[in-house]
Chains A and B, each alone.
Chain A
């Protein structure tokens, strides 16, 4: 069953700026959808439109089969976790969690049960009588999630909830959010600019750029078959290498090297190669790939990144640390399946 449908949503600000340019997204029951994109791409605006914190200029937001465009946030049956936690500073943790329920007229005993359940789930039971100012960043984050959980909403809305935490805590909380969401089986939208968060959390990723959707797909789809050069360079770290190349006569030409590949295109293209799919061969051998000039090697422990240039363009290859460190001149060994071709002008996948 579909929990949320966003149909042709447009957000135009009073000054005429278009933040969201006609976007269609659906969120299925129990699904976690991640909106990812660079800052200013409209991902937060779209989320806030679902929450009711921004008005919808055009289009429809349908939640659980009900059009909610003109419904107050409090009546939408949503729960939101904010970037800065947005806890009520003058209330104890308990009251923070209970506030929404109290305003809905939930009986006191039921509020107490729900608050204690959520507190137990999030391991904040010991802090119920504390004020937010007495809590650490991670604890505040849990309280913010607790406040969302007790509402038992149709959908959770996460607006970059982990960006104020340090790296270690962020990884830990990321995992917890995923577990929690699986356990509660509640649909969720998670907004982030961090592609690692997007990949690890999402059932489906919505990649946004400049107020438009670049691609919607599972993490594997978005990573394996990026729909545009934007997605290719945004998802994956280090990002996909993008090289200017020529096509024609069933071959791709990079500099002086011809690679035989079943290509239909004819003319200039952008060629995408994932760093870990670019295998290195000894430069002296007559391997069938383009030559690469190596300039820097970064050791990351399990792998190493080889930076250099191919045909005068920057190129990064990813190599297992077990392999010997290459010399200054190597050749790339490329499989035709690992080559992504994009339109030279539009950047769309060919």
Chain B
């Protein structure tokens, strides 16, 4: 690595300043504000505040709709993570085995990545539309009358499908590069040692992909928890009603629809602690990650 020497000791800090300013303005300040307001009861119209201690927290976690949202979020995250990882791995293994035309194949699979979450949500609405949605028509063939936006689980499943679909390309790219970094010699040695291709996959290839998989699992959990906001918002058209919501969406609902800023802040602080824990786990894993060469 090239080492640069600065004449003035202040100059490096000056270079860091824009990034630091962004972190401060868009993260530190709002976070501090959220933590502060989670201990108050706000009057949304006149700006008066009353200190209520941890009431907002106890209130949030004991309410049944919070429990329901938490349960749904857990399930949603599990399904989205498992399926987006599983399908992406399957596609990556297939792409890795393609010898000719791998370029176009890869590009096509990655396209979806360029779609913004709300747009993905819009496409989801079209696919699951009561009247023109092809997926609704398709499952109707099996006697399943899917009513997205009306039936709790129908909406939930539609959201899971769209969220999974949106996340597959990222996982695919990481898995494919993980597969392609496995030395050719190792695969060849394995083909001499083990006659079964599936045996080779599970005993050699899959363990060598483990670091990639761990990393992606954390990324996917974070995605399902937070970044699916756009999909949820568009698919529910701002009318949650009897529909399932994720915890992040509930923060938005309670704060900006329900005008309960304190309660919403408390919920977002809980999520913040969760994401902090997740990040710590991720760093631990990366630290312990085996270096194979």
Residue pair A74, B208 in contact (C-beta under 8 Å):
no
**B174-218, CB < 8 A from A:** 183, 185-186, 188-196, 199, 203-204, 207-208, 210
**Does B6 interact with chain A (Cβ within 8 Å)?**
no
CB-based contact B189/A80 at 8 Å? yes
A152 shortest CB reach to chain B, Å: 13
In the complex, which of the residues A73, A83, A88 contacts B191, with contact meaning CB atoms closer than 8 Å? Answer: A73
| Cβ contact within 8 Å between B194 and A100 | yes
B188 touches A53 (CB 8 A): yes
Give A333 to B185 CA distance when docked, in angstroms.
52
Q: Which of B198-244 contact A (CB under 8 A)?
A: 199, 203-204, 207-208, 210
Chain B residues 82 to 104 lying within 8 A of chain A, measured CB to CB, are none
Starting from the known contacts A83-B185, A147-B193, 13 additional A-B residue pairs (CB-CB under 8 Å) come to A51-B192, A74-B191, A74-B192, A74-B193, A74-B195, A82-B189, A87-B189, A88-B190, A90-B208, A99-B203, A103-B194, A131-B290, A133-B290
Contact B204–A88 (Cβ < 8 Å):
yes
Contacts A82-B188, A84-B185: A89 and B293 contacting too (C-beta < 8 A)? yes
Q: Is the CB of A86 within 8 A of B191?
A: no
Chain B residues with CB under 8 A of A147 = 189, 193
> Chain B residues in contact with chain A, CB under 8 A?
183, 185-186, 188-196, 199, 203-204, 207-208, 210, 290-293
* With known contacts A53-B188, A80-B189, A84-B185, A74–B207 Cβ distance under 8 A: no
Q: Report whether A100 and B193 are in contact in the complex, using a CB–CB cutoff of 8 Å.
A: yes
Distance of A99 Cα from B183 Cα, bound (Å):
18
- Of the A-B pairs whose beta carbons lie under 8 Å apart in the complex, a sample of 30, sorted by A's number, is A51-B192, A52-B192, A72-B195, A73-B192, A74-B192, A74-B194, A78-B192, A79-B192, A80-B192, A83-B185, A84-B185, A85-B185, A86-B183, A86-B186, A87-B186, A87-B189, A88-B186, A88-B190, A88-B204, A89-B186, A89-B292, A90-B292, A99-B193, A100-B192, A100-B193, A103-B199, A131-B290, A133-B292, A133-B293, A147-B193
Instruction: Confirm or deny: A183 has a beta carbon within 8 angstroms of a beta carbon on chain B.
Output: no
| Closest-CB distance, B53 to chain A (whole angstroms) | 51
B208 touches A84 (CB 8 A): no
B207 A90 Cβ-Cβ under 8 A: yes
Shortest Cβ distance from residue A135 to the other chain B in the assembled complex, whole angstroms: 12
Q: Which residue of B lies closest to A86 (CB)?
A: B185
A75 sits at the interface (CB 8 A): yes
- Within A60-100, the residues touching B (CB, 8 Å) are 72-76, 78-80, 82-90, 99-100
**Docked pose: A73 CA to B190 CA in angstroms:** 10
B56 to chain A, nearest CB (A): 48
CB distance from A1 to the nearest CB of B (A): 24
CB distance from B97 to the nearest CB of A (A): 16
| A295 to B193 alpha-carbon distance, docked (Å) | 56
Please provide the chain A residues from 24 to 75 with a CB less than 8 Å away from any CB of chain B in the complex: 51-53, 72-75
| CB pair A82 B292 closer than 8 Å | no
Which 6 residue pairs of A and B lie closest in terms of their CB atoms, listed nearest first?
A86-B185, A74-B195, A100-B193, A89-B292, A86-B189, A103-B194
- Please give, as numbers and ranges, the residues of chain A lying within 8 Å of B188 by CB-CB distance: 51, 53, 73, 80, 82, 86
Cβ contacts under 8 Å, B291 to chain A = 133
B237 CB to closest chain A CB (Å) equals 48
By a CB distance below 8 angstroms, the chain B residues around A80 are 188-189, 192
Q: How far is the CB of A316 from chain B (nearest CB, A)?
A: 38
**Interface pair A89/B208, CB less than 8 Å apart:** yes
B91 to chain A, nearest CB (A): 24
Q: Complex formed: what's the CA distance from A182 to B293 in Å?
A: 33
Which residues of chain B have C-beta atoms less than 8 A from A99's C-beta?
193-194, 203
Closest residue of chain B to A101, judged by CB?
B193
Could you tell me the distance in whole angstroms from the C-beta of B209 to the nearest C-beta in chain A? Answer: 10
Residue of A nearest to B185 (CB): A86
- Chain B residue with Cβ nearest A89: B292
Q: Please, which residue of chain A has its CB at the minimum distance from the CB of B208?
A: A90
**Nearest residue in A to B292 (C-beta to C-beta)?**
A89
Q: In the bound complex, how far is the Cα of B194 from the Cα of A28, in angstroms?
A: 27
Cα distance A87–B185 in the bound complex, in angstroms: 8
Query: Bound state CA distance, A86 and B208, in angstroms?
Result: 13
List chain A residues, Cβ under 8 A from B190.
Answer: 88
Report Cα–Cα, A85/B193, bound state, in Å.
14
CB–CB B207/A103 < 8 A: no
Measured between beta carbons, the chain B residues less than 8 angstroms from A51 are 188, 192
Chain A 90-134 interface 0/1 with B at a Cβ cutoff of 8 Å (1 = within): 100000000110010000000000000000000000000001010
CB neighbours (8 Å) of A52 from chain B are 191-192
- Distance between Cα atoms of A88 and B185 in the complex (Å): 10
Given contacts A86-B183, A88-B204, A89-B208, contact A103 B193 (CB under 8 A): yes
Contacts of B185 in A (CB 8 A): 82-86
Distance of A52 Cα from B191 Cα, bound (Å): 9
CB-defined contacts of A53 to chain B, threshold 8 Å: 188, 191
Q: How far is the CA of A83 from the CA of B188 in the complex (A)?
A: 12
Nearest residue in A to B206 (C-beta to C-beta)?
A: A90
User: Cβ of B290: which chain A residues have Cβ within 8 Å of it?
Assistant: 89-90, 131, 133
Complex interface: chain B residues within 8 A of A89 (CB): 186, 208, 290, 292-293
